[in-house]
Structure 1
């Protein structure tokens, strides 16, 4: 049995600085049009299998349609708020497909698309954003933590889960989804340090979409890249074109399996872009111009993957039609179920906050009961 003292000891051989630093340019397999990227030589990263890419394509098409439907429901007042992830499909779908069923996913409020790709019921996934329950799905059964609204507070939790699993002899990996704004929070740095010191099997995927709400990346950090932040803690970093589905799948699969095999934590920075405003309450025209958005639209991850698969003879018109029809059926089901008025007990507001309700909670619950009685 490993002793507590042994768990505190650093590895006998420390990695060289060069082993911790990310690539000079983001890893990419495809150019902006879905053709081969110049060079296309990435050493340690294997090109994903065609079957996995076809699965990714179908999931990305469904995810985008789901995202559009959720945005429409927000405008109709069926959701309290919805943070769109249009443009970030490759990151969210790639993260899910890189994991095994027994691995853990730690999402943020913007990662509802990833929950749908993991098989979580769409209506349950949107419960938080509807404001009708703390979390609409069972985290233990789905191996998916509740969506995290405070920035980066879920990152240390992911490290704890992964470390505990390793102590039990399991080969579980935890993957943390985080935005570029979250890297400016103390919890992110504590999680990196915790993961490195205890050699926890965690992958941190930073979806760098250029803005923390309205604050551009240049006002958040002076580091060469966000992936460089790992080196100071002893965490290997990597950069990837977040709108290249092949590259995202290749890099994340390698990172997850490296962590699983005992290679320690990995920090991956995916360069991507949020096409829509931060949420339905945001006016993005105040802080970014139309031309910038249009430039990123031309780097569309779904269009790039479709072009590549067609060029390889792995995708036909019938396949594309089938993916779109499945996405429309999925959206129609979401629309119908979210169109129904929610029913719930207001007293549930106080459920599952603490194992034993505090005096303050009991007092507040009493006030609510009196108000309802009147």
Structure 2
């Protein structure tokens, strides 16, 4: 083979490889384009989120006060006579009915005193009767001149003294009966009884400390203070109100565990003077306490709300987030797209926030799935309900 033929063969081989390379590149480009078209056809569906439709409620002006609870009735059970404590008829910390027997003191000494007082009274009555007969006879013989006026005066004095002695004996008998009755101690009212301070066998008496304490906590008192300026301003605006019971306010309690108490209260008492040390007026509210949940001595928050109310929007706490600009919520617009909305919130009412500005009724806010979305993305909203007391999120059908 000549050199010229070898060169032609080499050139043909080079051309063949170039053609193969171009074909392979073309096929690869075609496949890549097809893959992109297929990927473009696979659109990610919008993320599903739970939403809540903003509703309104009638809300009035309000204030919160630090308050302390107090028993409606409280009595220290004390011994009124001295003696050995014989019996206890209750368990500590239990409910007690009015008139129920609580404790017994040894009655032997007082029973003996009663018997003695009864005998003494009989003796005094006998003496009284004898003196009365002597006086009658004396008066009869005095008419005939057989007795001096001095002797008649003595008979009269003796009759008066024996009558007085009978009255004294009657009083002693009444006291003996009363002392004997004091050996049995009963509950003056219904309530709960606390710890016993003296065990059976101890000697107790009027000088002893309380044997136990009985408290009635249904209803329960709630004491709080109002600044003198606020109190005077209120009186000036409501001159028609003559007593605390007439004040048109709705009262609620928030307990120390941050839960809302289920009963509403009313004002019961306002003091007649200003405390010079604190510049406040002592006031008292009263709340039903049938289950005994609110115990005396608790620090609670008293929520005072006016009865003059207006419709305001409420948003669940679950919807509220916070950043450097303040509190915000994620709102779903008419195109199901997420919009960040900063809001101004008022007080918290159970599991809801009062909206002062930034949201309107019937707008939808995201309450679940907040971490899956951001401003401007489209979502698939699923309507849910929220328990306004507990904050529990439910399906609409599970309301």
Pairwise TM-score range, normalised by the shorter structure: under 0.3
- Higher share in helix: 1
Q: Give the structure with higher Rg (CA).
A: 2
What TM-score do you get using the length of structure 2 for normalisation? 0.17
What TM-score do you get using the length of structure 1 for normalisation? 0.17
